[in-house]
Structure 1
Amino acid sequence: MHSQISLSFTLICLSLSSFSINAATNKPKGFSIDLIHRDSPLSPFFNSSMTHSERIQNAALRSMSRANRFGQSSSSTAETSESVETEVLPNDASYLMKISVGTPPVERWALADTGSDLIWFQCSPCPQCYPQNAQFFDPKSSSTYMSLSCNSNPCSALPHFLVQGQTYPKCGTNNECTYFYSYGDQSYTNGELGTESVSFSQAALFPKTVFGCGHNNHGLYNMNNAGLVGLGQGTLSLVSQMGNVGRKFSYCLPPYNPKITTKLRFGEDATISENGLVSTPLIASSDSKTYYYLNLEGITVGQQKVSLTSQSNGNIIIDSGTTLTLLPSSFYDQVEALVKQAVGADQFIVQINNHKLCYKNVNSIQNFPNFEVHFTGANLSLKPRNFFRMISNDVMCFAMLPTEGQPIYGNVAQINFEVEYDLDQKKVSFAPVDCTKQ
């Protein structure tokens, strides 16, 4: 058991460390970028005044907020040269990603969100916008901006919202696609749908990317944040619009260490080649085409397995932006009871820092049970660091919580697994590895 367990991971894409090109077509096949921990001193948003306990508590609160958010309800061609550089910075439960938009390109920070699809930026004129440090994006200053009509395919792909008696998307005064897109935390964006060139530095260009030019936006957003980049699996997400790079990405999250970086890989570079690979289907859901649904069949603690009653149609979301794993309440209670029985320690705290099961005098605990998570077709053997996290030098807490909302498989449970999302093959794959060496 290490003295520090991973908190919520955030991507900071410091540089494109590698990419591959198809020699026959000179088209990109994949690339990878660096990741660092959201609370690492390497992060430009690192808050040195926060204690370790405060970071742990904030991560737990973000996990619950993320669950509440999930509970709500034409590809471009990539052109890549010899190097790519971009950055992603922490912002609560999500990530801030550096991205360039327009021609000539202007650099902006935007939330990278695995729980939504639409890409949007605050655009001028912006009479009802939240404050941001950078200027609003001006589509009139870009030679590559094009408005989309209300009968275009991308407009038809937008979700429908009823707002003050009006149904969105709708036709504007010049037949433009006027959209409204809201989120579970009551934030929203309202504006005009168009296409624009977006890039991660000048070396990786994605022309004619569908995005929203928001003129009426609301939310508790950081002033560094100029918009949002959807990374879900819907047709309007950045992942779905990456063209020849392909709809595949992977990451490998190491235990927290301020000196360790890891990789986020796209396209062919995202394919896992390590031993011990197991895969589970991505489940199509009638509730959402955005989220990454899996089937959780049960959890084994020690030698006893607890089966989940609902094992069809996708009963849990896998999400790298959520710290803790959130389980249906009755199922959680059975798992927690087995953990208590297996650990056998008398001194436990019912709740601390929003955690339900915590132990003190950690060094005296000898019995960390076998812990296996059973997805359809994929059994994952977790280490203690995947289901316990240190709150202080002598207190550790179970890294899972009960929820009456959307169950989520969080990132603590994913430490030292390479995780691959293949949207075309409709599967998520796992391989146990030492992510500090990736």
Structure 2
Amino acid sequence: MALSPAKIAVTFSVVFTFCLCSLEASDGGFSVELIHRDSPRSPLYNPAETPTQRLRKSLARTIARANSLSQTAAATGSAPFSTITSNAGSYLMNISIGTPPFQILGIADTGSDLIWTQCEPCNDCFEQVAPLFDPQKSSTYRDVSCTSSTCSSLDGTNCGGNTCQYSYSYGDQSYTRGDVAVETVTLSSTSGRPVAFPRTIIGCGHDNGGTFDNKTSGIIGLGGGSVSLISQMGQATGSKFAYCLVPLTAEAKGEKSSQLSFGSRAEVTGSGTVSTPLVPKSPETFYFLTLEAISVGRNRIEFGGSAGSASEGNIIIDSGTTLTLLPDDFYSQIESALTNQIELQPVDNPPVPDLPLCYRTKTDNINAPVLTAHFTGADVKLGPLNTFIRLDENNLCFAFAPIPTSVGAKAIYGNIAQVNFLVGYDIRKKAVSFKPIDCTKF
């Protein structure tokens, strides 16, 4: 899902002259549902699995994704290659493409850009339960010509007849290949009124395979690159989006889904709101912030060892990664400060290696100190839901972890730390804002 930073198969070096227009988007903004893959609302939900089994699988996806994000951020070269595993995202999203609208369910991913779905005719596709999109049945589908300036500006494309074609490979050996096209993308807003974006660039995949789940159709790229859904909405939404992630307990009960908002609905203002700069870095797909320190209670621990030593853009904020992952030396200092302030004794052998700090307790209230993430210009105070997760009825574990040695020191601010915050991205102003809020009531 995330793409190679230097040369991305569908990265654009020109400014497109067409404009995505939406009367509803410019008339107050709108919101759509984000469905956690482990929610009963999700088609990926397996009722036979226990909460512990689901969490263990989520942690395995987190480590795989962290490895991929860090490799991608450090990669060079011209190949259109994405090292992100193809099925590692935490949230799903329904969109419709074509005229008349044809609904697809895709993995919503802030770590990738291209919107793509399996299409008829499918020469070699992964098994999909839902029908495949047939571009011949859409009156608004248009292949991008090989001779167009759009196609010539793309890296790693090739021509099939007169049609511009793309090819993505993923780190788990999954792949998608197909035609670059423009098509109407429609989102079903929570107000009940659909919001349409004509002439959106998509990938129409005719040759796809690997580890994709048969209940999904493709990937919905929400990254910062020019071909992502976020960037293509641009003018119509004021280049603003926000999400409010509900606690996993609420998702598990099917009580409420998280929301992704655009335009004026994505404005984050009011009491408690803090903002930090988005740092422009390569690859442009990722959203980089600067984390200066983390406080454990009153003990401030500097990221980099001393005040002012944190490098700009040293952490990726990512909705698809479950845990917050930190370089080993920085994590160790935080864990030490935390255990010194909690009366309970940590378990000697944590039940899950990816969660090194766990306490054997049936209560969620262990009188842990408040953790504060000090981003540049923004102090984000984290509640118990953001810092501890229940692995099973006997084990409560710290929702931060050290980055595996094989990954390298690329920190990731995961989605548990973002639960019950309205997190807003203003691409024009290059800022991310946080506002504490009960997302079950948003």
* TM-score (normalised: structure 2): 0.81
Match of 1:299 in 2: 294
> Within 2, Cα distance between the matches of 1:29 and 1:172?
42
- Residues 135 and 40 (structure 1 numbering): CA distance in 2 closer, same or farther, change over 3 Å? closer
Does 2:407 match 1:412?
no
Partner of 1:247: 239
In the alignment, is the contact (CA less than 8 A) between 1:285 and 1:313 conserved in 2? no
Q: Residues 300, 133 of structure 1: CA spacing in aligned structure 2 closer, same or farther, 3 A cutoff?
A: same
- Is the CA contact 1:116–1:290 (under 8 Å) kept in the aligned structure 2? yes
Alpha carbons of structure 1 residues 380 and 350: separation in structure 2 relative to 1, 3 Å: farther
CA separation in 2, counterparts of 1:122 and 1:364? 43
1:266 counterpart = 2:265:
no
Equivalent residue in structure 2 for 1:227, among 218, 229, 233: 218
> Distance between the aligned counterparts of 1:416 and 1:47, measured in 2?
25
Segments of 5+ residues of structure 2 without an aligned counterpart are: 1-21, 73-86
User: Structure 2 counterpart of 1:181, which letter?
Assistant: Y
* In structure 2, C-alpha distance between the alignment counterparts of 1:172 and 1:42, rounded to whole Å: 40
Gapped runs of 5+ residues in structure 1?
1-19, 74-90, 161-167
CA–CA distance in structure 2, aligned partners of residues 180 and 227 of structure 1: 14
Q: Distance in 1 between matches of 2:181 and 2:33?
A: 30
**Structure 1: distance between partners of 2:65 and 2:364:** 34
Task: Report deviation, 1:347.
Answer: 4.3
In structure 2, the residue matched to 1:384 is 384
| TM alignment of 1:22-421, pairs within 5 A | 27-35=26-34, 37-73=36-72, 93-150=89-146, 152-155=148-151, 158=154, 160=155, 168-174=156-162, 176-200=163-187, 203-242=194-233, 243-255=235-247, 256-257=249-250, 258=253, 259-286=255-282, 288-309=283-304, 311-353=310-352, 354-361=354-361, 363=363, 366-403=366-403, 404=405, 405=407, 406-421=410-425
Aligned-residue offset at 1:238: 0.8
Corresponding letter in the other structure for 2:379: N
Partner residue of 1:10? Answer: none
Give per-residue Cα distances to partners, 1:126-167, cap 9 Å, x unaligned: 222212123433323322222213454543564x4xxxxxxx
Q: Given residue 376 of structure 1, which amino acid in structure 2 is its aligned partner?
A: T
Shift of 1:46: 3.0
Query: Deviation at 1:21?
Result: 6.1
Q: How many Å apart are 1:413 and its aligned residue?
A: 0.9
Residue in structure 1 matched with residue 83 of structure 2 by the alignment: none
Instruction: Write the letter of the residue equivalent to 2:55.
Output: I
The structural deviation recorded for 1:365 is: 7.1
How far apart are the structure 2 equivalents of 1:260 and 1:204?
22
Taking a change above 3 Å as real, the CA distance of residues 119 and 260 of structure 1, as seen in their structure-2 partners, is closer
Alignment-mate amino acid for residue 265 of structure 2 = D
Whole-angstrom CA distance in 2 between matches of 1:35 and 1:321? 12
Q: 1:39 Cα deviation (Å)?
A: 3.2
Moved more, 289-298 or 351-360: 351-360
TM superposition score normalised by structure 1? 0.81
Please report how far the alpha carbon of residue 252 of structure 1 lies from its aligned counterpart in structure 2 after TM superposition: 1.9
After TM superposition, give the deviation of residue 250 of structure 1 in Å: 1.2
Distance 1:128 1:297, change over 3 A: same
Aligned pair count? Answer: 389
| C-alpha contact 2:89 2:108 (8 A) present in aligned 1 | no
Contact conserved, 1:72 with 1:184, CA < 8 A, in 2? no
Conservation of the 8 A alpha-carbon contact between 1:69 and 1:185? no
Q: Secondary structure at the match of 1:348?
A: coil
CA deviation profile, 1:92-129 (whole Å, cap 9, x unmatched): 53433222222233222222221111111222332222
How far apart are the structure 1 equivalents of 2:88 and 2:317?
18
Contact 2:426/2:432, CA 8 A, preserved across alignment: yes
Amino acid of the structure 1 residue aligned with 2:371:
F
> CA distance change for structure 1 residues 349 and 150 in 2, over 3 Å: closer, same or farther?
farther
